[in-house]
Amino acid sequence: MTPTVLDGVAVATVDAAGTEHAFGHVVIENGLVTAVGPGQAPKPSGPHTWVDGSGCLVTPGLVNTHHHLYQWATRGFAQDATLFEWLTALYPVWRGLDAEITHSAASAGLARLATTGCTTAADHHYVFPREGGDQFTALVEAGRRVGIRLHAIRGSMDRGRSHGGLPPDNLVEDTEAALLATERAIAEHHDTSPGALVRVAVGPCSPFSVSAELMTGAAELARARGVRLHTHLAETADEEDQCQAEYGCTPTEYAERLGWLGDDVWLAHTVHLSPDAVKRLGATGTGSAHCPTSNGRLGTGIAPVRDLLDAGAPVGLGVDGAASNESGGMVEELHQALLQARQRGGPEALDVRQALWLATMGGARCLGREREIGSIEPGKLADLAVWRLDGLDHAGMDDPVAALVLGPQPKLKLLLVGGRTVVDDGELRTASETDLARDLRAAAERLKGTR
């Protein structure tokens, strides 16, 4: 690859020292950052691509730690429902999912993420209708189509309504079949090589849709295969009540009982945590995917992000499924995370640089990739977002990180994944947005027609 030089750009490295340059440069060779520093870049000796970064801020690419991409085909449903009501309304629709619909929805969702600064996305796919075809491969191919890094989480549900769960019985899997399918997904798609575009994680859906046998079996499988673990936990007060009634403990205590706390685990939402639960997540290095917009849309509450950070738990940001976050963009989660933290803990609960850390290094830690992504440092992957801050929307804001987090969503000048251009001047370059929109409309109409 021809070296690329980003010159005359404000740089927020998000390294351990919080290094920033008001006027700096980044040099990229063979998909890696080779130099970052103040002032103009040294001129490469050979051919190179020079990018004028004046009026721009470069940050690490944003890391989305929790999503459900198939939900892009069902935006706008159950607009005023609680989580359990929302799921009850949508499960019958999702019974119509197939590989084609999932691929179209995932491609559109990943495109939206890319154009809002995301270079790595973790997608939790747990709905597998019996006649739905190979949806997991369809998801992986969507990631390759758009060109951002994908942590594809093979989810599962085996606890239908007849066993006290929320999903209809015809939408859950047999426990053993779910574990075998998860093992097959790891064998077929998990890439252990440095800089991998596709990694696989194991993700039973949640305690109210999964048996204890599946939870423990999934943890054993993941650790035997050396992959990470993900599930929903402590999202609503209803879940807390159900867990106490069924198991005589809190969701966090239940997760620990089943072997689901550890530095190879990250949990989605973690809204309703006791002080002791916060300490347990910190002590065990268990990560949290904070989804502020989705939590607000469903009215589930505000996660104790400041407390988790103070306890030492890795915390990243998640967009969550587009059926509970119809915007589906990544950069706005920085803004929402800051606002919610301050609503809970006052104006000093989270500052703009901590919000950026959540969306970059915090997310990288949750996914176990902090040595590869999440900061701009020599030797790390060149996953970078270059934001335009020179227009009317941000005029007069001297602090570029504050402009990014507090101001309107900036336009992307450039999004690079391993040095490869994915977004240029605000437009996706790896796929046709027109084609993606057409395919999504057709998928949504076909899915709605299956109800």
Measured between alpha carbons, how far is 445 from 166 in angstroms, rounded to an integer? 25
Residues 396 and 252 in one domain: no
The alpha carbon of 194 is separated from its chain's Cα centroid by a whole number of angstroms, namely 20
Residue 147 neighbours by CB under 8 Å, 6+ apart: 114, 197, 417, 420, 422, 430, 431
- The residue among 62, 391, 33, 17 whose CA lies nearest residue 25 is 33
Cα torsion at 356, 203, 127, 337 (round to 10°)?
-20
Structural domain includes residue 75: yes
Q: 3-class DSSP state for residue 406?
A: helix
Is 67:319 a contact under the CB 8 Å cutoff? yes
Measured between alpha carbons, how far is 91 from 314 in angstroms, rounded to an integer? 31
Question: Would you state the pLDDT for residue 42?
Answer: 84
Residues 324 and 354 in one domain: yes
Structural domain includes residue 443: no
DSSP H/E element including 150: strand 149-156
Residues 52 and 81 in one domain: no
Measured between alpha carbons, how far is 441 from 444 in angstroms, rounded to an integer? 5
- The residue among 249, 254, 307 whose CA lies nearest residue 278 is 307
Measured between alpha carbons, how far is 318 from 118 in angstroms, rounded to an integer? 11
Residues 130 and 242 in one domain: yes
Residues 281 and 334 in one domain: yes
Residue 392 neighbours by CB under 8 Å, 6+ apart: none
Question: Would you state the pLDDT for residue 451?
Answer: 57
Residues 177 and 135 in one domain: yes
Measured between alpha carbons, how far is 126 from 137 in angstroms, rounded to an integer? 13
Question: Would you state the pLDDT for residue 166?
Answer: 86
- Residues making up the chain, counted from first to last: 451
DSSP H/E element including 22: strand 20-29
Tokens of 306: 């400041």
Question: Would you state the pLDDT for residue 1?
Answer: 78
Residues 215 and 342 in one domain: yes
Residues 303 and 414 in one domain: no
What are the φ and ψ backbone dihedral angles of 296, each rounded to 5 degrees?
Answer: -70, -40
Residues 139 and 245 in one domain: yes
Residues 325 and 404 in one domain: no
Beta bridge partners of 277: none
Structural domain includes residue 447: no
Where does a domain end: 338, 366, 394? Answer: 366
Crossing angle for the helix pair 175-189 and 135-146, to the nearest 10 degrees: 30
Tokens of 283: 């002590």
- State the CATH number of the domain containing residue 12: 2.30.40.10
Is 9:352 a contact under the CB 8 Å cutoff? no
Measured between alpha carbons, how far is 405 from 234 in angstroms, rounded to an integer? 27
Tokens of 96: 């119509």
Structural domain includes residue 373: no
Range of the domain at 31: 4-60+380-428
Structural domain includes residue 438: no
**DSSP category for residue 280:** H
Question: Would you state the pLDDT for residue 18?
Answer: 98
Q: Which class for 80: exposed (0-12), middle (13-18), buried (19 or more C-beta within 10 A)?
A: exposed
Q: Domains in the chain: how many in total? A: 2
Structural domain includes residue 448: no
Q: For the full predicted model, state whether its pTM sits above 0.75.
A: yes
Structural domain includes residue 375: no
Residues 137 and 204 in one domain: yes
- The residue among 199, 249, 254 whose CA lies nearest residue 229 is 199
Structural domain includes residue 201: yes
Low-confidence ranges of the chain (pLDDT < 50): none
Residues 238 and 351 in one domain: yes
